[in-house]
Amino acid sequence: MAQYARGAAAVAVIRLRNPPVNALSLTVLQALEDGLKRADADPSVKAVTICGENGKFSAGADIRVFSSPKKQGLGLGPIISLIERSEKPVVAAIEGIALGGGLEVALGCHYRIAHVQARMGLPEVTIGLLPGAEGTQRLPRLIGIPAALDIITTGRHVPATEALKLGLVDEVVEENTVEAAIRLATKLIGQPLGHRRLSLRPVPRLPNMEAFLSDALMKVKKRAQGCLAPELCFQAIKAATELPFADGVRKERELFNILLTSGQAKALQYAFFAERAVEKWTTPNGASWKSASPQPIRKAAVIGLGTMGRGIVTSLVKAKIPVVGLEQDLEYLNTGRKAVMLLLEREAMKMEQGAQTLDFHNPARLQFTVDFDVLRDVDLVIEAVFENMALKKEIFNKLSRICKPEAFLCTNTSALNIDEIASVTNRPQQVIGTHFFSPAHVMRLLEIIYGRHTSPTTIATAMQLAKVMKKVGVVVGNCFGFVGNRMMFPYTQQAVFLLEEGSRPEDVDRVLEDFGFKIGPFRMSDLAGLDVGWRSRKDQGLTGPSLAPGTPARQRRGYRYSPLPDLLCEKGRFGQKTGKGWYQYEKAGGRISKPDPWIHSFLSEYRDTHQIKTRFIDQEEILERCLFALISEGFDILAEGIASGPEHLDVIYINGYGWPKHRGGPMFYASTVGLPNILAKLQKYSEMHPDVPQLRPSAFLKKLVAMGNPPLNDWMSYLHRQSNKL
Ligand code: 3H9
């Protein structure tokens, strides 16, 4: 709703009220409209202030409305026109946030005052839409085309001080914003308002408008990577340069409706809520976010200053948590320290008040040591050493002796057994997996893995840590590869099998990149280094000296195996770092991949050696085999209770594995393709490749199909239901 009151003798205050973020639901809009009409009709009211409850203006339209049958009838645009047409001055008092429809309401007001800590933006693009309440037409008239394009096509939040420089707000205050707005409204009584009505203003012309727009469109398309909304945002803003206001609004509405009915908006809005849903974690034994309280982390330590450790230290410093970095000897320590300092310098440059805020030259904030004793007083340790169980156990045993009894012990592993690591400590309840993604100071995902004995407090503390590091924490159970890497295995396995059967690395990568992945599996493997997987396969006895003599080249433990990545490693082709991998690079450490004729002839010799008949593999098969194998593994993960819902898998894939957000994540994608279709295709491929268990459809997938293909939200409720069709 919206509360109507008097702020001063002649000023009506309309307060948007819909906790927690004053989203503009139909009820709020109705109350806003009623408030405006009441103020208009009351001759004792001479001016109006619009503000929001609880120090927040508004987060915009209620996103849930877009997936309800009433979505067409939001009708925010006409209410904003009503504000603008008012003969009585209307001042927006912006505190906290004014986003999307919230900012559009403020743009309809004649004046805008913002609190110095407020943030403003039109983030509709991030949920697959465009500002659909005349914002694409008003904003360019207020701040010009280049700034409007930037704000609308990126959806970024603009801090109040920048908003003032752009002319988006008229004044920034540090005091009570609503009172300041009431004072301004009082002063404005009786003054002319024509020039303050944005719809009546022309769009400021640029001398080179056409060239500017065509350049901008190219940039927008490049960034969009298959996502529709940024380009349609661009089209709406372009309309503002070509059409009168009313026609521009019609164009905006037309484009908005195209997006609203597109699958992409649905997927992006699902992703928005999925990210919030995973914050409310639960485990199969009943632990949950509701009852567990996080412990404060006043000081942390990171063991190992390799690539991961450096990124983790940087993230902690950015989160303003004092941190100690520990290495095994002075040489490694010095290399690590230099690298961390460089990362922090770069991060500081990107920040407004940079170095002072981070304060990383202060030893009380950041310290480096080779001495474990220094870790006596830390509240939490993140071990980020080499992926080797014996080494990790040795470190955890030591930590358990040195660290204070309340300290939490985290391991940054991408696959190893948390219980085995915890077993060597005196506090298995305080041991937890924190799987960061590289580069750890950039990637948003933190997979949080609880073991058999991990306490709810430990999970809550790790989740809280993710939040202060501005990461998305996702709580998952303990199994080899956890969620992300476990689902990745069948995907990359299919990619390599496709090479054996006739594809080339660039064919497979292109199909998956066209689908929207930032980077295909072979380019990814070259980037990460082929030697990483090689080492793990050697440890598992799948290749290398421990392989039993006489093992068939393309079979392990009775199933199909491809030795192709091992063969490349034997030839020293580790990817970008050696200048050669699945592709060739301009030099060792080079980043620009070029298809390598050597690989093409190597693959054809390989097929000859193993009598594999090369066949043409179409895009559909490449996509389906890679994605459906990954999805089937996802259903197994859900059935085993490793993750508590499909949203968890989707959030992990979007934030850690480059899955295109506008496709909602693998499980959401599965729901859009239709589970019966996925099942039928997996059955077909599995019949073609009976020696590949990863192509066999998950029993849970089969069950859901037998239960009538229920919507994704209901999947988990079917887990334990009996199906008489199976
Ligand atoms: C729009 O305006 C279209 C118009 O142009 C045209 C219309 C015709 N709706 O994120 P948090 C919920 S489109 C419904 O955890 P924070 C959120 O789900 C809209 N619910 O807090 C969560 O619920 P729960 C354009 C919303 O402090 C709770 O509020 N606007 C909305 O970390 C707290 O949220 C946007 O895209 C909403 N609009 O961040 C802004 N917003 O407690 C989207 C939030 O049940 N919102 N909720 O999990 C955000 O970016 C962040 O939520 C915000 C707060 C920065 C506001």
pLDDT tens-digit profile of 389-407?
Answer: 999 999 999 999 999 999 9
Q: Are residues 605 and 624 in the same domain?
A: no
Residues in the chain: 726
Q: Is residue 75 very low, low, confident or very high in pLDDT (cuts 50, 70, 90)?
A: confident
Residue type, 613: K
Domain count, the chain: 4
126 token code pair:
């991030």
- Measured from the Cα of 63, ligand 1's closest atom is 9
Half-sphere exposure of 140 (CA within 13 A, CB side): 31
What does the DSSP 8-state code read for residue 329?
S
What 3-state class would DSSP assign to 243?
coil
Q: Are residues 146 and 181 in the same domain?
A: yes
Query: Is the pLDDT reported for residue 609 higher than 60?
Result: yes
Find out whether 337 and 302 touch, Cβ atoms under 8 Å: no
On whether residue 490 sits in a domain, the answer given is no
Note the pLDDT of residue 72: 52
Provide the residue range defining the domain that includes 627: 619-718
Backbone angles phi and psi of 12, in degrees to 5? -90, 140
Q: What is the largest CA-CA distance in the chain?
A: 96
> How are beta strands 2-8 and 11-16 bridged, if at all?
antiparallel
199 token code pair:
């719809």
Residue range 408-423: mean pLDDT, rounded:
95
On whether residue 712 sits in a domain, the answer given is yes
pLDDT tens-digit profile of 90-112?
Answer: 999 999 999 999 999 999 999 99
Residue 550's CATH number: 1.10.1040.10
Q: Are residues 59 and 161 in the same domain?
A: yes
On whether residue 489 sits in a domain, the answer given is no
Note the pLDDT of residue 581: 98
Contacts 24+ apart (CB under 8 A), 715-718: 715/638, 715/645, 715/646, 716/638, 716/644, 716/645, 716/646
What does the DSSP 8-state code read for residue 417?
-
Lowest model confidence (mean pLDDT) among 169-173, 397-401, 549-553, 652-656: 549-553
Residue range 12-37: mean pLDDT, rounded:
96
Residue type, 174: E
Note the pLDDT of residue 231: 98
Ligand 1 pocket residue status of 152, Cβ below 6 Å = no
- Ligand 1 centre from 59 Cα, in Å? 5
Q: Are residues 604 and 694 in the same domain?
A: no
Q: Are residues 297 and 200 in the same domain?
A: no
Note the pLDDT of residue 353: 59
CA pair distance 266, 232, nearest whole angstrom:
16
> How are beta strands 380-383 and 366-369 bridged, if at all?
unpaired
CA pair distance 534, 7, nearest whole angstrom:
70
- The model carries a pTM of 0.94
575 token code pair:
């990817």
pLDDT tens-digit profile of 446-469?
Answer: 999 999 999 999 999 999 999 999
Note the pLDDT of residue 194: 87
- Measured from the Cα of 135, ligand 1's closest atom is 5
- Ligand 1 centre from 352 Cα, in Å? 25
Ligand 1 pocket residue status of 647, Cβ below 6 Å = no
Which residue's CA lies nearest to atom 11 of ligand 1? 276
CA pair distance 715, 700, nearest whole angstrom:
9
- Ligand 1 centre from 264 Cα, in Å? 18
Q: Are residues 367 and 221 in the same domain?
A: no
Q: Are residues 379 and 437 in the same domain?
A: yes
Query: Is the pLDDT reported for residue 725 higher than 80?
Result: no
Other C-beta atoms lying within 10 Å of the C-beta of residue 460:
20
Domain end, chosen from 243, 261, 279, is at 261
- Measured from the Cα of 127, ligand 1's closest atom is 36
Ligand 1 pocket residue status of 60, Cβ below 6 Å = yes
Domain end, chosen from 609, 630, 653, is at 609
On whether residue 494 sits in a domain, the answer given is no
412 token code pair:
């940054």
Find out whether 415 and 485 touch, Cβ atoms under 8 Å: yes
pLDDT tens-digit profile of 328-373?
Answer: 999 999 999 999 999 999 999 887 655 567 888 898 899 999 999 9
Query: Is the pLDDT reported for residue 606 higher than 60?
Result: yes
On whether residue 482 sits in a domain, the answer given is no
Q: Are residues 179 and 105 in the same domain?
A: yes
What does the DSSP 8-state code read for residue 628?
H
% helix, strand, coil for the chain, step of 5:
50, 10, 35
On whether residue 726 sits in a domain, the answer given is no
Q: Are residues 466 and 543 in the same domain?
A: no
Q: Are residues 320 and 351 in the same domain?
A: yes
pLDDT tens-digit profile of 288-297?
Answer: 999 999 999 9
Which residue's CA lies nearest to atom 33 of ligand 1? 20
Residue range 184-191: mean pLDDT, rounded:
95
Q: Which residues contact 525 (CB under 8 A, 6 or more apart)?
A: 492, 533, 565, 575, 581, 582
Other C-beta atoms lying within 10 Å of the C-beta of residue 557:
8
pLDDT tens-digit profile of 673-695?
Answer: 999 999 999 999 999 999 999 99
Ligand 1 pocket residue status of 565, Cβ below 6 Å = no
DSSP 674-699: -HHHHHHHHHHHHHH-TT-GGGSPPH
Ligand 1 pocket residue status of 155, Cβ below 6 Å = no
- Ligand 1 centre from 653 Cα, in Å? 22
Helix (H) / strand (E) containing 41: helix 26-41
Residue 65's CATH number: 3.90.226.10
Query: Is the pLDDT reported for residue 251 higher than 70?
Result: yes
Q: Which residues contact 23 (CB under 8 A, 6 or more apart)?
A: 58, 59, 60, 61, 62, 63
Q: Is 102 exposed, middle or buried (0-12, 13-18, 19+ CB in 10 A)?
A: buried
CA pair distance 675, 672, nearest whole angstrom:
8
- Measured from the Cα of 276, ligand 1's closest atom is 48
- Ligand 1 centre from 377 Cα, in Å? 39
Find out whether 508 and 622 touch, Cβ atoms under 8 Å: yes
Note the pLDDT of residue 576: 96
Note the pLDDT of residue 611: 96
- DSSP H helices in 479-520: 484-501, 505-515
Q: Are residues 173 and 83 in the same domain?
A: yes
Q: Is the peptide bond before 545 cis (omega within 30 degrees of 0)?
A: no
Ligand 1 pocket residue status of 267, Cβ below 6 Å = no
Residue range 238-261: mean pLDDT, rounded:
97
Ligand 1 pocket residue status of 297, Cβ below 6 Å = no
On whether residue 378 sits in a domain, the answer given is yes
pLDDT tens-digit profile of 194-246?
Answer: 899 999 999 999 999 999 999 999 999 999 988 999 999 999 999 999 999 99
Give the residue numbers annotated as catalytic, written as ranges: 104, 124
Residue type, 371: D
Residue 455's CATH number: 3.40.50.720
Ligand 1 pocket residue status of 124, Cβ below 6 Å = yes
pLDDT tens-digit profile of 223-237?
Answer: 998 899 999 999 999
Note the pLDDT of residue 420: 97
Note the pLDDT of residue 723: 63
What does the DSSP 8-state code read for residue 594?
B
On whether residue 280 sits in a domain, the answer given is no
Ligand 1 pocket residue status of 123, Cβ below 6 Å = yes
Q: Are residues 637 and 700 in the same domain?
A: yes
Ligand 1 pocket residue status of 252, Cβ below 6 Å = no
Residue type, 592: I
Q: How far is CA 642 from CA 413, 430, 626, 646, 679, in A?
A: 16, 19, 22, 11, 22
Note the pLDDT of residue 628: 98
134 token code pair:
């005349």
User: Which of 32, 63, 107, 233 is the best mutation target for the ligand 1 pocket, counting ligand atoms within 8 Å of the beta carbon and taking the most?
Assistant: 63
Note the pLDDT of residue 71: 58
- Ligand 1 centre from 440 Cα, in Å? 27
Which residue's CA lies nearest to atom 28 of ligand 1? 20
